[in-house]
Chain A
Amino acid sequence: MEREKPAGVASGEVGRSRRVTRKSVSRPVTRAIDPETHRRMLRFMALARELEDRIERKLYRQGKILGGVYVGRGQEAIGVASAIQTLPDDVICPSHRDMGAFLVRGMTPPRVLAQYMGRRDGYTRGRDGNLHMGDLGLNIIAFVSMLADSVPIAAGIALSFRIRKQNRVVLCYFGDGATSRGDWHEGMNLAGVRKLPVVFICNNNQYAYSTPLAAQMAVANVADRAASYGMPGETIDGNDVLAVYESVRQAIARARAGEGPTLIECRTFRMTGHSAHDDASYVPKRLFKEWESKDPILRYEQWLLREGVLRRTDIDYVHRSVIEEVDRAVEWAEDNPYPPAEDCLRGVYHE
C-alpha cells in the first residue's frame, strides 16, 4: 500500500522539501521571516500541541470531555504557518486537525476548552463540540462533520470578495479523505472556473479514519487533482513549517493578485488514531516511529537553534509559558458553568 513519497518528505530537514507537481508556480526568493514571526509560529505550534495533548491525554481520559476528540498532533505546522500569514479581513475555513489555525486567528484556550466541555462560554455555547466552532468576528468559519462542505463555502466567500471588489483571500483546510467527497470537487471546480482567491490546504495525514491513501484515491498525490480544476497544485512536506510558510505565501500572493486558487497538499502523518477512542492498530508501528523523527516542532526548534534565531532558553520559555497558559485555561473552563437546559430551544431562527 506504500506509495511513492514526494521528494524530500523523508529527509527530516527543514526548508528544502517542496515539489511542484503540475503547473509550475512562480517562485520569487523567499523573503526572510522576521524573528518575531518565528517566535510566534513556534509558540502557536507548541500551544496547539499542549492544548490538544491536554484534551486528548488528560481531560478526555478523566471523563471531563465527552464526545469525539480529534487532534492534529504532528500536523501543527500546517495550520500555523498558513494562518499566520492572513490579514484580519482574510477568512479561514479550518477543519478538525487545524487547532493551530484557530489559535492563530484569535480563538483562546479557555473558550476552546469550554467548547470541548460543552460549557456556556464555549464558542457554540454548548450546541456543538470539539473544533466545530467559528466566529464571524474573527473571520473563522465553523465546519461541519460532513467533510469538505467548507470547500464550496470557501468558494462562495471568495465570490463575495469578487462581487464587492475586496482584496481578501480565503484559506480552506481539509484532509486527504475529504478530497473524495463530491462537495470537494464541486467547490474546487467553482473556484477554478471563476479563478477565485482561495488557497486550498490539504492536511494529507495519509489515513482517513482507518482507510489509507491508496484506498482513498487512484492518483498518487492529492495535488494531482488540481489539474482537473485548472489550478496549480503542489505537494510539500507538511512537517516542514518553512516549506508550508513559503508555499502558502506564494499562493496567497497569487490569490491577491487575481491569479486564482491554488491547491497545496501538505504531506504529514496522523500521530494518533482518528479520534481518542481509536488505537490506530491498523497503522504499521514503524510509520509512527518514522514520522516521530520528523516531528514538526522538534525540527523547527533545531532549525531555529542552528540558524541562531532563538536560543535554547527562548524555546524553553515558550514551552513553559504554553503549559502555564493551558493550566490556567483548564481551570477557567472547569469553572465555567454549563448552559441552562432551556437554552436548547433558543436561536434556531433569527430572534
Chain B
Amino acid sequence: MSQTTYLEAIRQGIWEEMERDDRVFILGEDVGAYGGAFKVTQGMLDRFGALRVIDTPISESAIVGAAIGAAYMGLRPVAEMQFIDFISCAFDQITNVAAKSRYRWGAGVPIVVRGPSGGGVHGGPFHSQNPEMYFFHTPGLKIVAPATAYDAKGLIKSAIRDEDPVICLEHKFLYRRIKETLPADEYTVPIGKAAIRRRGNGMTVLTYGAMVYVALDAAAQLTHEGIDLEVVDLRTLLPLDRDLVLESVRKNSKVFVLHEDTRTGGIAGEICAIINEEAFEYLDGPVLRVTAPDTPVPFSPPLEEYFLPKVSDVLATARRLASY
C-alpha cells in the first residue's frame, strides 16, 4: 500500500466530499490554478471547475463572510486561510456572525475555515501561530487539530459534514513529514473524540497536533526510567472529549498537558480546571503544563527552537511529576 502524507490526506478528504456532495465548494486566496500555497487544493479547479474552486481577493473577512452567506443558502463552503495566522483578519465574521447565528436566529452556519498552523518551519511571527484559544472561548464554534494523516482526512470530512462552523487547524510541520497507509474504504473521524496514541500506566500527557510526536518520543525514552506515559491526542479541542480525558486521569492519577501554543490562557489552563473540578480526588500530584513561553513565535532557528516545547521539556516535567 502506498503511503499518504498528512497534506495529501486533507486534499483527499476535501476532494471526496466535493465528489460526494455538490454543495461543497472551496474559496480562498490562490486556491484555484495555483492549487493553494501548500497545494492542498491542487487539481481541484480542473476537476470541479471555477464555480466550485474560487480564488478570492486578499480579504480574509470577506472570505469567511461570503462563506457564511453561501452557507445560509444551503451550500457547504470550505474557506482556506493561506496561513492560519491570517484568521485574525476574519475574527469578527467567525466569532460574531458565524458562531452566534444559530443561537440568535436559528440559522446554522455549516462552514469550514481551514489552514496551516504551527511552528517549526522558521515561518516567523506571522506564519507560525497557533490561534486556537482566540476561538476556543467562543460558544458556537468547533475546533479540530489532527496529528495524523488518518485523522486529518477523517476530520476534514466530518468538519465539512458538520452543521456548525468548524475551524480546522492543520499543522504545517506535519504536512509532508507524516505519512501512513490510509484505508481504501471511505471513513470519517468523529468531532469531539480524543484518541490514545500510547497506552501507559501511572502517568498521562494530554496533547495535540505536532506535539503528539514530541510526547511519543519522550514516552519512548521514559520507559528506561520506569515511567509508562500514556499519550492522549485530543484531536478535537472544541468540544473537548472530557470523558476520555477524565478516564485517563482517573486511571493514571498523574497528568500534564503539552501544547505548542503559548502558556497564558492556553488550553492547558482549561483542562487543568476541568480535572480540578471533576477528578481532584484521583490526583496524586499537580496538573503540570509544558507549553511555549509567552512570546510571539520567533524566526531565527535558535530562538524558535527555544520557543517550541521539546522532548527534554517533556522529560523534565514527567520526572518532576513522577517524584510526587
Interface residue ranges, A against B (CB under 8 Å): 91, 123-124, 127-128, 132-136, 141-142, 144-146, 149, 151-164, 182-183, 186-187, 189-190, 193-194, 347-350
A165 to chain B, nearest CB (A): 8
Q: Which residues of B contact A127 (CB under 8 A)?
A: 103-105
Known interface pairs A152-B69, A156-B69, A163-B75; A146-B104 also in contact (CB < 8 Å): no
Interface membership of B106, Cβ < 8 A: yes
Q: Which residues of A contact B317 (CB under 8 A)?
A: none
Known interface pairs A132-B104, A190-B59; A350-B164 also in contact (CB < 8 Å): yes
Could you tell me if B70 and A149 are in contact, using CB atoms closer than 8 angstroms?
A: no
A-contacting residues, B48-83, CB 8 Å: 51-52, 54, 56-57, 59, 61-75, 77
Known interface pairs A157-B72, A160-B70, A183-B92; A350-B102 also in contact (CB < 8 Å): yes
* CB nearest neighbor in B for A344: B103
* CB nearest neighbor in A for B60: A186
Q: Which residues of B contact A161 (CB under 8 A)?
A: 73
Could you tell me if A153 and B57 are in contact, using CB atoms closer than 8 angstroms?
A: no
Could you tell me if A350 and B108 are in contact, using CB atoms closer than 8 angstroms?
A: yes
Could you tell me if A153 and B102 are in contact, using CB atoms closer than 8 angstroms?
A: no
Report the Cα distance A183→B93, complex, angstroms. 9
Could you tell me if A152 and B66 are in contact, using CB atoms closer than 8 angstroms?
A: yes
Interface membership of B246, Cβ < 8 A: no
Report the Cα distance A162→B77, complex, angstroms. 14
Interface residue ranges, B against A (CB under 8 Å): 25, 27, 51-52, 54, 56-57, 59, 61-75, 77, 92-93, 96-97, 100-108, 139-140, 142, 162-164
Report the Cα distance A182→B57, complex, angstroms. 13
Could you tell me if A186 and B61 are in contact, using CB atoms closer than 8 angstroms?
A: yes
**How many A-B contacts are there with CB distance less than 8 Å?**
133
Could you tell me if B107 and A153 are in contact, using CB atoms closer than 8 angstroms?
A: no
Report the Cα distance A350→B101, complex, angstroms. 11
Q: Which residues of A contact B62 (CB under 8 A)?
A: 152, 155, 183, 186-187, 189-190
A20 to chain B, nearest CB (A): 26
- 19 A–B pairs (Cβ distance < 8 Å), ordered by A: A123-B105, A124-B105, A134-B105, A142-B101, A144-B97, A146-B92, A151-B65, A152-B63, A152-B66, A152-B68, A156-B69, A156-B72, A160-B70, A160-B75, A163-B51, A348-B102, A348-B103, A349-B163, A350-B108
Could you tell me if A134 and B107 are in contact, using CB atoms closer than 8 angstroms?
A: yes
Could you tell me if B69 and A157 are in contact, using CB atoms closer than 8 angstroms?
A: yes
Could you tell me if B65 and A156 are in contact, using CB atoms closer than 8 angstroms?
A: yes
Q: Which of A124, A132, A152, A160 contacts B74 (CB 8 A)?
A: A160
Could you tell me if B25 and A133 are in contact, using CB atoms closer than 8 angstroms?
A: no
B168 to chain A, nearest CB (A): 17
Q: Which of A136, A154, A187 contacts B107 (CB 8 A)?
A: A136
Known interface pairs A152-B62, A190-B56; A160-B107 also in contact (CB < 8 Å): no
Could you tell me if B105 and A162 are in contact, using CB atoms closer than 8 angstroms?
A: no
Q: Which of B25, B71, B105, B142 contacts A163 (CB 8 A)?
A: B25
* Residue in B52, B61, B63 whose Cβ sees the most chain A Cβ within 10 Å: B61
Report the Cα distance A154→B70, complex, angstroms. 9
Could you tell me if A152 and B65 are in contact, using CB atoms closer than 8 angstroms?
A: yes
Q: Which residues of B contact A187 (CB under 8 A)?
A: 62, 65-66
Could you tell me if A348 and B70 are in contact, using CB atoms closer than 8 angstroms?
A: no
Could you tell me if B52 and A349 are in contact, using CB atoms closer than 8 angstroms?
A: no
Report the Cα distance A186→B67, complex, angstroms. 13
Q: Which residues of A contact B73 (CB under 8 A)?
A: 91, 157, 160-161, 164
Q: Which residues of A contact B65 (CB under 8 A)?
A: 149, 151-153, 155-156, 183, 186-187
Q: Which residues of B contact A132 (CB under 8 A)?
A: 104-105
Report the Cα distance A157→B107, complex, angstroms. 14
Could you tell me if A156 and B70 are in contact, using CB atoms closer than 8 angstroms?
A: yes
Known interface pairs A155-B66, A160-B70, A348-B139; A149-B105 also in contact (CB < 8 Å): no
Q: Which residues of A contact B67 (CB under 8 A)?
A: 156
Could you tell me if A162 and B51 are in contact, using CB atoms closer than 8 angstroms?
A: yes
B50 to chain A, nearest CB (A): 10
* Residue in B51, B66, B71, B100 whose Cβ sees the most chain A Cβ within 10 Å: B66
Could you tell me if B66 and A159 are in contact, using CB atoms closer than 8 angstroms?
A: yes
* Residue in B27, B72, B93, B164 whose Cβ sees the most chain A Cβ within 10 Å: B72
* CB nearest neighbor in B for A136: B107
Known interface pairs A149-B92, A156-B65, A182-B61; A144-B70 also in contact (CB < 8 Å): no
Report the Cα distance A40→B297, complex, angstroms. 61
Q: Identify 5 new A-B residue pairs, CB closer than 8 A, beyond the known A132-B104, A153-B66, A189-B62.
A: A149-B65, A151-B65, A156-B70, A189-B59, A190-B62
8 closest Cβ contacts across the A-B interface?
A: A156-B69, A152-B65, A156-B66, A350-B163, A186-B62, A186-B59, A153-B69, A160-B73
Report the Cα distance A149→B142, complex, angstroms. 21
* Residue in B57, B69, B73, B107 whose Cβ sees the most chain A Cβ within 10 Å: B69
* CB nearest neighbor in A for B162: A350
Could you tell me if A153 and B68 are in contact, using CB atoms closer than 8 angstroms?
A: yes
Could you tell me if B66 and A190 are in contact, using CB atoms closer than 8 angstroms?
A: yes
